[in-house]
Structure 1
Amino acid sequence: MTRFNACIDLHNGQVKQIVGGSLTDTDPDSLRTNFVSKETPAYYGQLYKKHNITRAHVIKLGPNNDAAAKEALASWPGGLQVGGGISVENAQEWIDLGANKVIITSYLFPDAKFSLDRLKRLSETVGKDKLVVDVSCRRKDDKWIVAMNKWQTMTDMEVNKETLDMLSQYCSEFLVHAADVEGLCKGIDQELVRKLGEWVTIPTTYAGGGNNISDLELVDRLSNGKVDLTFGSALDIFGGSSVKFDDCVEWNSKH
């Protein structure tokens, strides 16, 4: 059954909601921010802990976010996942700091090319059960291609059953941001969700475009209950008006 999973997106040390495709290193003026929270990262960690919103992910979007991420993890030791700049060199450190799992993307794609060796090393270092592979992607023609470097750089990996089966040998979970619709609140990528429901064999969280509490029911139907959903900019705790956090909590309690 599809569940609501939560997020804490960090940018320059603050909890923010950003239009995914606008985040670049080369043009800071292009950044489109939907929401900057007055609350601390710890506030959200404690909120998720109170309501037992497990598998919530803390994502460091660029530099200057380590302290904020550590604060979030300290608010619920063993309860939150962390991603952004994770590598074989620092993954265990983040686990030791209280992360339930580490989320990995860019490290797996040196020069935008997938490295199975890096994935194996990381899986061996922290354990398959502590590893989430982020296969966030952008649409290219009729395919979805994994995007890295704040979703700006297209890699050589297509998201399909073959690649997900291969990756799932070394990790325990997938996180999938549909970067083209991330932060726009204009609806989920229904075709991608349907395909993920056909392909995945391990717990998977989809993020991108959710704008109504009914999207939980939609994702459940499209994926046959195999894919969970994250709301971001649409959620009232992130300044949104179309989805109430309390309704998400109620959904989880009933399903």
Structure 2
Amino acid sequence: MTRFRPCIDLHAGSVKQIVGGTLSIDNASLKTNYVSEHPAGYFAQLYREHNLKGAHVIMLGPENEEAAREALAAWPNGMQVGGGIRADNAAEWIKAGAEKVIVTSYLFPKNEATAKPVFSMPRLRDVLKALDDDTSKLVIDLSCRRRGDKWFIATNKWQDITDMEVNQETLDLLAPHCAEFLVHAADAEGLQRGIDAELVRSLGRWARRPVTYAGGARRLADLGRVRDLSAGRVDLTIGSALDVFGGEGVTLAECVRWNEDEEREELGVRAGEN
């Protein structure tokens, strides 16, 4: 079953939809698709009313903690939070109301000799230790950028490309340590030019945990395409194309109906099996 998963992207304290590949440390080249007049709590309450589970709140840089806490307070234990999550603050965000924390950059400290980010299993274990070794509280973000016919994990606002490939080996390595994966296709994020079909298909083959894909979705039909490509093993986030974020490609009401239809079909299949 492929579900629609909503998001709340926070930048400089506001709910925004941005072109992911334009993020940088100084934001000199930042391109923004939409800035909402509504606070983060408004969207959290909206998702709660429609029972849109598995939403992720992403803090894109500083000055977003207050807005993130507002969202979590509006739906305690109903959403995930990511952006700047580390071993020393992971438990705090769970206490603040996050169902799960999402971690990426912290797992890839820069190598002192090469200044390149390198995966650290000790850091992953430190995060889990802070969560009392409860893997159900952890989402690992494998957001990536494409290089040729491969995808490599990107950290620090998707600007630093690691040498860790998104593939079967990586997902098998990390699966025992988390509840699910979040994968932003950073090169497609915010562009509304279509999903990365090859990546979605591959994630459907590789994943041993639930996976949410984000990047490029532009219409309701993309939910069906993701379902078909991944055999229903990958969920989809739609951001900039969504009407509540100023988009014209798909409405939140359509996505809610999609989820309801998928759940009814899933229940029907289970009833038939019994």
Answer yes or no: same fold by TM over 0.5.
yes
Query: Which of the numbers 224, 237, 240 marks the counterpart of 2:231?
Result: 224
Question: Does 1:17 find its partner at 2:17?
Answer: yes
Tell me if the contact between 2:54 and 2:78 (Cα under 8 Å) persists in the aligned partners. Answer: yes
Q: Look up the SS of the partner of 1:218 in the other structure.
A: helix
TM-score of the pair, normalised by structure 2: 0.92
Question: Mapping of 1:204-223 within 5 angstroms?
Answer: 204-223=211-230
Spell out, residue by residue over 1:71-114, the C-alpha distance to the aligned partner (whole angstroms, 9 max, x if none).
00000000010000000000000000000000000000000100
- The DSSP-based 3-state class of the residue aligned with 1:168 is helix
Deviation at 1:125, TM superposition (A): 2.1
Which AA in structure 1 matches 2:219?
A: N
SS in structure 2 of the partner of residue 99 of structure 1: coil
Match of 2:128 in 1: 123
Tell me whether 1:239 sits opposite 2:246 in the alignment. yes
Query: Offset of 1:201 from its aligned partner?
Result: 1.0
How much does 1:247 deviate?
Answer: 0.1
Aligned-residue offset at 1:158: 0.3
C-alpha distance in 1 between matches for 2:125 and 2:65: 25
Matches for 1:44-83 after TM superposition, within 5 Å:
44-83=43-82
SS in 2 for 1:29: coil
Which residue matches 1:250?
257
State the alpha-carbon separation in 2 of the partners of residues 119 and 129 from structure 1: 14
Instruction: Tell me, in whole angstroms, the C-alpha distance in 2 between the residues paired with 1:211 and 1:180.
Output: 15
Larger radius of gyration: 2
User: Quick one: distance in 1 between partners of 2:179 and 2:31?
Assistant: 32
1:59-81: CA deviation from partner (whole Å, max 9, x where unpaired): 00000000000000000000010
Residue in 2 that maps onto 1:110: 109
Counterpart AA for 1:121: D
- SS, match of residue 45 in structure 2: helix
Give 1:29 deviation, angstroms.
2.9
Which letter does structure 2 place at the counterpart of 1:13? G
Post-superposition CA distance 1:182-201 (Å, at most 9, x none): 00000000000000000001
Which residue is equivalent to 2:36? 37
Q: Cα RMSD between the aligned structures? A: 0.6
User: Which residue is equivalent to 1:5?
Assistant: 5
1:65 and 1:20 mapped to 2: Cα distance? 17
Which residue identity does 2:66 align to in structure 1?
Answer: A
Residue matched to 1:176: 183
Percent pairwise identity: 59
Q: Deviations over 1:156-203 (max 9, x none)?
A: 210000110111110001000000000000000000000000000111
Report if aligned partners of 2:143, 2:158 keep a CA contact under 8 Å in 1.
yes
How far apart, CA to CA, are the structure 1 residues paired with 2:92 and 2:130?
11
Q: Which blocks of at least 5 consecutive residues in structure 2 are unaligned?
A: 111-116, 263-274
TM-score (norm 1): 0.99
Picking from 148, 156, 181, the partner of 1:149 is 156
Provide the rounded CA distance (Å) in 1 between the counterparts of 2:92 and 2:221.
Answer: 38
Q: Structure 2: which amino acid aligns with 1:114?
A: F
- 1:235 Cα shift? 0.2
> Bigger shift: 112-121 or 94-103?
112-121
Letter in 1 for 2:62: P
Q: Tell me if structure 1 keeps the 8 A contact 2:88–2:130.
A: no
State the match for 2:270 in structure 1: none
> Following TM superposition, where does structure 1 have runs of at least 4 consecutive aligned residues deviating by more than 3 angstroms?
none
Q: Can you give the 5+ residue segments of structure 1 that lack an aligned partner in the other structure?
A: none
